Chain A
Amino acid sequence: MIINIYRSSVVELISNGILWRATHQANYSRVTGNVAEALAEKYQCNIITHHEHKVGVLRSKWGRYTLVSNGGLHDHKAMWYVNKFDTTSPVMQNSFVALQEGVAHLLTPYTDMTDWSRWI
């Protein structure tokens, strides 16, 4: 098994000539897409964010780039600090991304969001 390990938290992926910046950024927002929007404006490219544990696909404010908030593979029910107290924080959400021919497909366990018969 060979794993390429990087000190960086950012990777630029070029699929079918289209640039995507996938990042584990430091910032968080309760509003899905806010952080991705700011990063798209800063780096002028399509963005896939992590760290926020929320899912969503949207188009940037000025219509130039696609923003993906990639949830995660975590199980929030198993996280003690998440369940210790009630909070008004958003519920953590799962997803991963299939980047194919320049298009980022967000795949979730939510059957009203992902049609799995098309994928497996």
Chain B
Amino acid sequence: MNKRKEILNLREQGYTQRKIAKTLGLSPGYVAEVTFGIPAGIPEVGELTGVKVEDFSEVVELNKNFIIVGDVHVPTTNWKFASYVSKVAVSQEIKRLAIVGDLLNFDSLSDFPIDKPVTRLRKELKYAKRLLNEWAKVFDEIHYFMGNHENRFFRSLKGELTVDLLGGFFDCDNQYLS
């Protein structure tokens, strides 16, 4: 179970922050952050059951060794240095890759005033796909998280289209997760 969920479950059961930290072997500060503003053992309110509120604070938790990259900014990428990612993965036998935001520039969707023709979205996606294909040769798992540049994509589509569509653009068997 996700650590945050475990913490919140214990909180609902009436555990103090200190007791949760001791039980789960976590720092009291971390528990305090997760449970901030949530009183111990909050009672069920019958008339509010059935109300569902989306929890955007949930954090994905992954295990084991990883290579972590971010700010790739395709197509304005340092392609030579990017090739070192695969080389290190092979030599160090690391099978998992986390891309933490800004894989693409999405310049064509930028709100900034444009004074120079930008790379077309189609071309950016093509280059990104090429890079992902290279990485897929050496990594068993690729996990892709969003950055502010990906937000340009979502903003431009006014929230109507989602992250699974972004995966569809890469033409991969993407799994849409949270």
Contact = CB atoms under 8 A, between A and B. Distances in A.
Given A24-B100, A74-B71, A101 B65 contact: yes
Nearest to A65: B27
B154 to A, nearest CB: 8
Nearest to B164: A5
Contacts of B63: 13-15
A2 interface: yes
Interface in A36-83: 42-45, 48, 50-51, 53, 64, 70-76, 78-81
A50 B67 CA distance: 14
Question: Secondary structure at chain A's binding surface: helix, strand, loop or mixed?
Answer: mixed
A97 to B, nearest CB: 4
A101 B73 CA distance: 29
Contacts of A104: 68
A11 B145 contact: yes
Contacts of A26: 148
Contact of B100 (A48, A78, A119): A48
Contacts of A4: 141-144, 174-175, 177
Interface residues of B, number: 66
B71 A99 contact: no
Contacts of A14: 61-64
B78 A6 contact: no
A35 B118 CA distance: 31
A105 B64 CA distance: 14
Q: What is the interface of chain B mostly: helix, strand, loop, or mixed? A: mixed
B178 A6 contact: yes
A101 B66 CA distance: 9
A94 B81 contact: yes
Interface string B27-62: 101101100000000000000000000000011111
Contact of B91 (A1, A10, A109, A119): A119
A74 B144 contact: no
Contacts of B91: 119-120
A57 to B, nearest CB: 13
Contacts of A94: 78, 81
B161 to A, nearest CB: 12
B68 A99 contact: yes
B94 A98 contact: yes
Given A1-B133, A44-B27, A9 B60 contact: no
17 contacts: A1-B142, A9-B145, A9-B146, A11-B59, A13-B98, A22-B70, A24-B147, A26-B148, A50-B102, A71-B71, A73-B71, A78-B75, A96-B68, A96-B84, A97-B66, A98-B66, A120-B91
